[in-house]
Amino acid sequence: MADPFADPTATYPLEQIRLHGHQVAYRKAGEGPAILLIHGITSSSDTWDRVFEPLSERFTVIAPDLIGHGQSAKPRGDYSMGAYASGLRDLLVALEIDSATYVGHSLGGGIAMQLAYQHPEFCERLVLVSSGGLGPEVSVMLRAATLPGSELVIPWMTKAGVLGLGRNVGHLLGRVGLQPGTDLEEVARGFASLADTEAMKAFVHTLRASVDLEGQRVDARDRLYLAGEGPSLIVWGERDRIIPVKHGREAHELIPGNRLEVFPQSGHFPHRDEPLRFAGLLRDFIESTEPAAVDYTRLRHLATAR
């Protein structure tokens, strides 16, 4: 059995491809039906390191660093959901991947839904992991980062010891509602990446495209009925304090025929908290369902009927 905690960077190093003049970093391994793993904001393909190897035993796994994140380019440009979706479509085309199961975490879930909506012919299945875009509620930490002047505050935070989490841990936990463990580690690692000026600018542009002081502005709930046209799976951590699990439960009611799995002991990163369970669940979901087949006549009828 594969070691879920093995570091994929040694076996599956980042590759680079140039799309529309910008470098895009990605990891790719395995053979079989394709899985596109889409990470969340301030994260990178590294977030999937604990499930990359077990998944690549049966599938072709593609895990990119989104533009503005990780080792990909961080240009001054469009950081909307639509732009991210188009960029991933272009990556699949460039890698000669005809279709894939989309797996999106947090911001990546919103991007996966947008990609499935814009380009349904590429989407075999949709998997949403603690996904954004399903309701207004989101952590106060992210809402505050959209305020004017946050570009000046965030670099100070990354240098002022806030991310050290030693003597400040109790205060920080109380302020943002996070629990010790994976969530705190991943948020700290993500904010540490913003010490890079270009990464910080990309983060602010990305966040402001979908979140404001009142919460998430991008809301896919009015189109979730379209997700019922193919197999869909929702995975959430019961202890998620960044995006509440109620979003997953409400989406479960709105998507016809979908499957909901809640991990009772997990927070915002169930794929890192319980990687073997997550990989097994995803493998079972893919192998027990048939890929979606796009019927544009039916899609037109569904859209206009609403």
- Per the DSSP assignment, residues forming a β-bridge with 186 are none
DSSP code of residue 27: E
- Let me know: does 90 contact 45? Beta carbons within 8 Å: no
Which residue shows structure tokens 């039906």? 33
Query: What pairing do the DSSP bridges indicate for beta strands 100-105 and 34-38?
Result: parallel
Q: Strand ranges (DSSP E) for the chain?
A: 15-19, 22-29, 34-38, 60-64, 100-105, 123-129, 211-212, 215-216, 232-237, 259-263
Residues contacting 10, CB < 8 A, separation 6+: none
Catalytic (active-site) positions:
106, 240, 268
DSSP sequence for 165-206: -STTHHHHHHHH-PPTTHHHHHHHHHHHGGGSHHHHHHHHHH
- What is the biggest distance separating any 2 CA atoms in the chain, rounded to whole angstroms? 60
For residue 148, the SS3 value is: coil
Residues contacting 149, CB < 8 A, separation 6+: none
- Let me know: does 25 contact 68? Beta carbons within 8 Å: no
Q: Is 52 exposed, middle or buried (0-12, 13-18, 19+ CB in 10 A)?
A: buried
In angstroms, what CA-CA distances link 114 with 11, 118, 123, 239, 303? 31, 6, 11, 26, 15
Task: Report the candidate in 220, 264, 216 with the shortest Cα–Cα distance to residue 242.
Answer: 216
- Let me know: does 117 contact 229? Beta carbons within 8 Å: no
